[in-house]
């Protein structure tokens, strides 16, 4: 008799709130009444960002669960309290998770929107290069304008579809993040209430149920949030591809100080960071601060991995190693301005790559390896060192690296 009324009320509340209009400022009357009750102690959430209706849904769900667990603790029955905790975890990882994650399934058009925009940039660049050698003045401008029109027309449909779905996706991500921040307080409050009301022998079973509930619910919510952020990141990375792939045509075999100076003046860092800023600007206003930082971190990791992969297809001389070090240092500095957190963890491997490429002799690899802290494996370190045109593969292979 202690469980069923609370669970029925929670199920009804969640169903009503999930069906309420997601684009409006208010949620269902049931949710508003729950938040208005003085015994709630105010909304559990502390994050003021995100859509109001989604926040009210989360607040209402957690308030009803809070009351449900308090009633179970007041029953003074360990079995009732343990069952209530298990049911709360199931409902968080079931009904609430379904209501939030249903908006995270991006359509094919949404996933292709970034690729369409990247194709538009590529078409314009190709038209510009193609006309530069054969046309001048107004004729070249007309050709480029025509290519731009064709590209924008081809990309418009996919981008429009993605834009229409984006607000719901961002609200769902904010809801998942908010739910994760509320969960620890819910379990802590339940544990305190049970410890206060239940006899010590009964508390053992409840403690085990609480621990299992924390692991189950938090794991499901965290996995859904991570998957949603990965999908959002994947929809944005095609925008960065043209800027990253420009590294493919960049030479790091320079041969002289003059070539080094010329390469520094044509750095790829500015255009890449500019595109990254534009990509984040398209979603930042709709994301909570924590989600925006997490998304930026994923985009930074993608950029660093792509740069490293492209570098492995090149050869590097002493001057090129110095230029690559400057590129990585400039990239780290510019990216740091975009984030409120340190970005060095995302560029740590690139920084270590620059240290390897800057070695003067093959044998110095052993000294660098002995210092520890490298995120690269021995095979990766040897492969990077082999990019240097001055180094011999036999000498690199002869360096002994302790396991």
Q: Kindly report, residue by residue over 273-315, the tens digit of the pLDDT.
A: 999 999 999 999 899 999 999 999 999 999 999 999 999 999 9
Give CA torsion, residues 226, 227, 232, 235, to 10 deg.
140
Q: What confidence score (pLDDT) does residue 104 get?
A: 78
Length of the chain: 403
Task: Summarize the confidence of residues 362-374 as an average pLDDT.
Answer: 89
Residue 388 has pLDDT above 90, yes or no: yes
Tokens of 193: 């209430």
Q: Which residue has the higher pLDDT, 102 or 30?
A: 102
Q: How confident is the model at residue 162 (pLDDT cuts 50, 70, 90)?
A: low
Lowest mean pLDDT among 51-60, 104-113, 163-172, 193-202: 104-113
Q: Which residue has the higher pLDDT, 35 or 43?
A: 43
Lowest mean pLDDT among 36-50, 185-199, 345-359: 36-50
Q: What confidence score (pLDDT) does residue 100 get?
A: 85
For 103-128, b where at least 16 C-beta lie within 10 A, e where not — what string? bbebeebbebbbbbbbbbbebbeebe
As a whole-number percent, the residues of the chain with pLDDT over 70 amount to 71
Q: What confidence score (pLDDT) does residue 371 get?
A: 85
Instruction: Give the Cβ contact number of residue 222 at 10 Å.
Output: 14
Q: Kindly report, residue by residue over 257-272, the tens digit of the pLDDT.
A: 888 888 877 778 889 9
Cβ burial of 309 (10 Å; 0-12, 13-18, 19+) is exposed
Give the integer Cα–Cα distance in Å for 122 and 88.
51
Q: How confident is the model at residue 99 (pLDDT cuts 50, 70, 90)?
A: confident
Q: How confident is the model at residue 54 (pLDDT cuts 50, 70, 90)?
A: low
Q: What confidence score (pLDDT) does residue 25 get?
A: 36
Give the integer Cα–Cα distance in Å for 398 and 388.
16
- Residue 305 makes CB contacts below 8 A (sequence gap 6+) with none
Task: Summarize the confidence of residues 340-369 as an average pLDDT.
Answer: 91
Residue 384 has pLDDT above 50, yes or no: yes
Q: What confidence score (pLDDT) does residue 8 get?
A: 45
Largest CA distance in the chain: 89
Q: How confident is the model at residue 44 (pLDDT cuts 50, 70, 90)?
A: very low
Residue 3 has pLDDT above 90, yes or no: no
Give the integer Cα–Cα distance in Å for 304 and 298.
10
Q: What confidence score (pLDDT) does residue 2 get?
A: 44
Lowest mean pLDDT among 12-16, 23-27, 93-97: 23-27
């Amino acid at each position: 008799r202690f469980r069923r009324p609370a669970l029925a009320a929670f199920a009804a509340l969640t169903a009503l709130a999930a069906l309420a209009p997601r684009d409006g400022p208010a949620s269902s009357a049931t949710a508003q009444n729950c938040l208005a009750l003085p015994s709630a102690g105010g909304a559990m959430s502390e994050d003021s960002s995100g859509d109001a209706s989604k926040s009210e849904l989360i607040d209402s769900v957690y308030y009803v669960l809070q009351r449900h667990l308090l009633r179970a603790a007041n029953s003074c029955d360990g079995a009732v309290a343990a069952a209530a905790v298990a049911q709360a975890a199931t409902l968080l990882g079931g009904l609430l998770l379904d209501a939030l994650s249903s908006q995270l399934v991006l359509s094919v058009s949404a996933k292709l929107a970034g690729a369409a925009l990247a194709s538009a940039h590529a078409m314009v660049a190709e038209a510009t290069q193609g006309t530069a050698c054969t046309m001048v003045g107004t004729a070249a401008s007309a050709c480029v304008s025509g290519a731009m029109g064709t590209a924008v027309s081809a990309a418009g449909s996919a981008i429009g579809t993605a834009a229409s779905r984006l607000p719901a996706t961002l609200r769902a991500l904010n809801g998942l993040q908010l739910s994760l921040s509320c969960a620890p307080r819910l379990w802590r409050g339940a544990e305190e209430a049970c410890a206060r009301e239940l006899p010590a022998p009964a508390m053992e079973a409840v403690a085990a149920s609480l621990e299992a509930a924390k692991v189950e619910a938090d794991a499901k919510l965290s996995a859904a949030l991570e998957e949603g952020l990965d999908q959002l990141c994947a929809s944005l990375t095609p925008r960065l591809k043209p800027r990253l792939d420009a590294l493919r045509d960049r030479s790091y075999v320079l041969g002289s100080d003059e070539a080094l100076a010329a390469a520094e003046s044509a750095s790829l860092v500015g255009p890449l960071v500019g595109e990254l800023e534009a990509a984040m600007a398209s979603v930042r206003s709709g994301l909570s601060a924590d989600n925006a930082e997490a998304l930026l971190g994923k985009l930074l990791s993608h950029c660093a991995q792509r740069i490293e992969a492209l570098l492995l297809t090149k050869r590097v001389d002493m001057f090129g190693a110095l230029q690559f070090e400057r590129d990585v240092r400039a990239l780290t500095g510019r990216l740091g301005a975009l984030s409120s957190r340190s970005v060095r963890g995302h560029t740590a491997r690139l920084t270590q790559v620059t240290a390897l490429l800057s070695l003067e002799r093959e044998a110095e690899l052993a000294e660098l390896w002995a210092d520890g802290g490298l995120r690269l494996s021995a095979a990766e370190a040897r492969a990077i060192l082999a990019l240097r045109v001055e180094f011999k593969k036999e000498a690199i292979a002869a360096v002994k690296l302790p396991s």
